[in-house]
A and B are shown apart, each in its own frame.
Chain A
């Protein structure tokens, strides 16, 4: 079937029209004060903001120690109005309310949020401001995982401010000086969901060009403008010259007007005054360059004064209208720290790692069921190290609450790895739950051409500023021909664009069928990839390994198909990056498509690598060698505890395994446990080897023969063995381990975030086979009690590192003894002594994790 070819010029013209439509959609339903502000939001006119408030307060002697600046709106409105009026007189169109710290957390009840915003807006209006921006600064607390403020709590703090600003009569909301992209996202969502005013968001960057939490400007611009901010940009940070390259990075990625409010240079202290080194004239000159790269909403920040505003006003008036931003269309997937940028014009490829998917993976299934998200991190790290650029995250298991599981998985991964993520779920509710608090821009996997799917998925893609993966299947299934798949793809792209999703945010997966069953389709799939790219100009993805179902030597088939698909125009293969064959094809193709400039990476990886066809595989031999080495070492090793009767006939194996445990070698533990379980009862292995070996490790730790990591490595090795035993027991379900019936709760007390001691204790207890309920860190006494009551727990371990939090420990012990008198409490922590432990009413004092395990053993034995 012949298709009319779209000419390039036509395509470009179409894109411009679509871009304009999308810009219009961004401000549809927004309450805009007047036509000038409307034009500002479209990027057609300039908007001049005011400058420093703190510096002006200092000059007027208002910034006295102990004074909360936000309260001056109420206590000294005349002074604040005076500062605002000076900026209005200097030519500022927008006055920013003096409410930088006006959230309920920072105000601490000294005034209500409503009161402060009402007074602040009054000051701004009394100064005859043309527009009033309701100012919202950072929450003042750190979000999880670094701090303890949850995303939802941050959202609530900001939402209260937004409602107050709206009620007080602001014309727009300004969220500024944020360093945490997740926090900025919480504020932006709170604003979008609590007002229909325009919302501007700016972040602050350090000298290394990142926020102090590691977000580069291009990621901030991409994530916040995709989410629907009406302007994004930079404030505070550095002087205007230092900010130029950062603003340029933002201009490439901002889908809305660019806002810049630099400091008046770098600060220095002199005679107890903070001075800045840039003059208003120099500032204005630098801002000309800023305007040249496309900044259209401008102002100044710390160290500036109305003189800066006056100079800036003159620059803006001379420039007349904003310059176009050098926006570079690209598919961008981002975590809060790192972006994968695939420019529309380039031929670069990127690998999506597929391994975080429980289908056919019993260990991953078990990890998800038990809430062991650490296991996912292991899978993620291995894939990134093997070259994955982006990771697919699928945690769908029928019996799990997918929304909660996906959110937890994403939180855990975002806290530990920086690769961008693909959220893979067919449940829109799960996608929304996970995407809200993710500090980046994910790819949503997936939508398809069925009306039901388009209607369910595309709105959330648009709402949360994601990219989307579209599958070429419709109500009639997967079209067998390339043209059929193209039509399905067209339907997806049309629907997405009507929704306001930019074309560069769309990836199409032409769906791979098995060559064994649909041999004719293999070529159709490749042709479909080419057609989709040519006609729709979108990126393409394929789940490569489907091609080889039912055939031998699957990796050979997969790799060959992958090479062919690259040739056809595949951009984003979804594959297992741990497969060496895939990696070889990817590395080779990156030379062919020009991505590996000068073939440097290829030469580096392959110049000295052996040709896999030139020699026999050596894996088998290596394993044997290492086992021999272990055995050799183990021969000099004597079993440090008596052999039990049940294991008498396998004394060599017992000795060898004990040696593995005490030397902390987890690598061969699974295999040796399996071998023993073939002839021996699980309980005999646990009680005859695992427990006495762990006890021996604990004894050696006590005597100083072992240091902490050795004890822990022994415990890790035992854990590997325990996992095998558990799997076996789960499959036979004839008997359960005695210790797994015992549950211990552990927590780091309220106010304390130092949980390493608790984590080590948890690990050790788990490796003794106990069921450990980890309540986390900074846990309130009532939460400990609730969990203990809920799960009928009789033993609790509490940890505290700081002298200041021992008080909270005492309160927790007291409350536990009051509410659940039968439950016993172990306390531990660097600043505790046995005397002090008994003074605060604890039942046991443990000086370290090994002692905690011993106490638990005695407690449950009695």
Chain B
């Protein structure tokens, strides 16, 4: 059964949180800094971050799943070329050339999902009502916290892999590159994530609670080449006209992971 991860005393990276709202070294007033710190610690102390992950084998023959259910359809070689992706055994069809590339040579595949929980939605609305500045800063803190949570879940996966003499590559989320969000319902189903961690998906394939992350990690033999250094901008479809990149900041955190 899938592993549950409940990190205790999770902290959020302040620089990263500020980075989400465009911080690139501006001089902040004491007042604003103090407000930010209060919100960050509220975020760390009142929410219940939780994650879940499981290991999936790759299907031997590449098959393309129907949009509903895991039922598979064999595909011809032609189709395999025009519809690249990775089929998991008892798991979803991960569509896209980018994810196929990401998992090239991977022995097994880990799916992970994590969330700040139902309360985070209430708190986000609360702080937005208390004032837009609080709302925006709290939202940024929650984004940074869910990133810390995803790191913690990833660490648990890395530890598991290391114990089996395997290596991992960076976590790749639906919505990166050409991997569609449409995979989310099956992704959550494969992990039983709604029951296990209260994570759900809207009809538009957005995760709910909003401060949640799903991701794919490849497990590789120790001597196998691992594709894809951790460059989140490199797989982003908006990289060519991104305002943040022009300013030298990044949506995934201040001056980190360029």
Contacts and interface: CB of A to CB of B under 8 A. Distances in A.
Interface stretch (A433-441, A703-711, A818-826): A703-711
A266 B247 contact: no
A269 interface: yes
Given A66-B68, A145-B125, A412-B129, A664 B29 contact: yes
Contact of A707 (B24, B67, B194): B24
Nearest to B65: A65
Query: Interface residue tally of chain B, by bracket?
Result: 35 or more
Interface stretch (B69-77, B153-161, B217-225, B226-234): B69-77
Contact of B208 (A142, A705, A802): A142
Interface string B1-25: 1001000000000000010011110
A400 interface: no
Interface string B177-221: 000000000000010101111111011100010000000000000
B205 to A, nearest CB: 10
Given A208-B50, A266-B192, A665-B29, A708 B129 contact: no
B118 interface: yes
A262 B31 CA distance: 53
B133 interface: yes
Contact of B122 (A179, A272, A418, A709): A418
A830 B198 CA distance: 29
A141 B128 CA distance: 24
Given A238-B195, A759-B132, A146 B121 contact: yes
Contact of B68 (A65, A417, A712, A713): A65
B91 interface: yes
Contacts of A141: 203
Contacts of A847: 243
Contacts of A63: 69
Given A206-B197, A709-B32, A65 B66 contact: yes
Nearest to B203: A141
B163 interface: no
A833 B241 contact: yes
Given A210-B118, A269-B190, A377-B126, A709 B137 contact: yes
A416 B72 CA distance: 43
B119 interface: yes
Pick the most buried of A210, A214, A237: most chain B CB atoms within 10 A of its CB: A214
A707 B68 contact: no
A756 B139 contact: yes
A709 B21 contact: yes
Given A146-B208, A707-B24, A708-B136, A378 B125 contact: no
B21 A708 contact: yes
Chain A contact residues, majority secondary structure: loop
B82 interface: no
A810 B31 CA distance: 42
A269 B91 contact: yes
A712 B50 CA distance: 32
B44 interface: no
A251 to B, nearest CB: 22
Interface in A686-704: 704
A496 to B, nearest CB: 33
Interface string A58-79: 0000011110000000000000
A710 B28 contact: yes
B66 A66 contact: yes
B48 interface: yes
A63 B196 CA distance: 24
Nearest to A759: B132
A716 interface: yes
Given A412-B129, A707-B23, A207 B197 contact: yes
Nearest to A141: B203
Contacts, number: 152
Nearest to A667: B31
Contacts of A705: 26
Contact of B195 (A142, A237, A417): A237
A643 to B, nearest CB: 23
Contact of A416 (B24, B129, B238, B243): B129
A271 interface: yes
B136 A760 contact: yes
A267 B189 CA distance: 10
Pick the most buried of A66, A140, A751: most chain B CB atoms within 10 A of its CB: A66
A210 B89 CA distance: 30
A621 interface: no
Interface string A101-113: 0000000000000
A418 B67 CA distance: 38
Nearest to A335: B122
A501 B131 CA distance: 41
Interface residues of A, number: 66
A46 B57 CA distance: 46
Contacts of A20: none
A763 interface: yes
Contacts of B137: 709
Nearest to A263: B195
Contacts of A206: 194-198
Contact of A266 (B1, B89, B117, B125): B1
Pick the most buried of B29, B66, B125: most chain A CB atoms within 10 A of its CB: B29
A476 interface: no
A709 B198 CA distance: 31
Interface in A134-171: 140-142, 145-147
Given A268-B1, A713-B133, A214 B122 contact: yes
B198 A212 contact: yes
A417 B122 contact: yes
A378 B130 contact: yes
Nearest to A629: B30
A811 interface: no
B1 A210 contact: no
A715 B131 CA distance: 11
Contact of B118 (A214, A272, A374, A712): A214
Contacts of B125: 145, 415-416
B170 to A, nearest CB: 24
Contacts of A270: 90
Contacts of B129: 373-374, 377-378, 412, 416
A642 to B, nearest CB: 24
Contact of A64 (B24, B48, B71, B90): B71
Contacts of A208: 48, 50, 117, 197-198
Contacts of B1: 266, 268
B207 to A, nearest CB: 12
A724 interface: no
A212 B120 CA distance: 12
A706 B21 CA distance: 11
Interface in A702-739: 704-710, 712-713, 715-716
A383 interface: no
A704 B26 CA distance: 8
A710 B24 contact: no
Contacts of A760: 132, 136
A673 interface: no
A601 B10 CA distance: 25
Interface in A737-791: 751, 756, 759-760, 763
Interface in A30-76: 63-66
Given A214-B118, A710-B26, 13 more contacts: A208-B197, A212-B198, A237-B195, A266-B192, A269-B91, A269-B190, A272-B90, A374-B131, A664-B32, A707-B23, A707-B24, A713-B29, A760-B136
13 contacts: A142-B208, A145-B125, A179-B200, A206-B195, A269-B90, A412-B129, A415-B125, A417-B122, A418-B122, A707-B18, A708-B136, A709-B32, A759-B128
Q: What are the 9 closest A-B residue pairs judged by CB atoms, nearest first?
A: A269-B90, A214-B118, A663-B29, A65-B66, A377-B129, A416-B126, A212-B198, A707-B22, A374-B129
Interface of B: 1, 4, 18, 21-24, 26, 28-29, 31-32, 36, 48, 50, 66-72, 89-91, 117-119, 121-122, 125-126, 128-133, 135-137, 139, 190, 192, 194-200, 202-204, 208, 238, 241, 243, 247
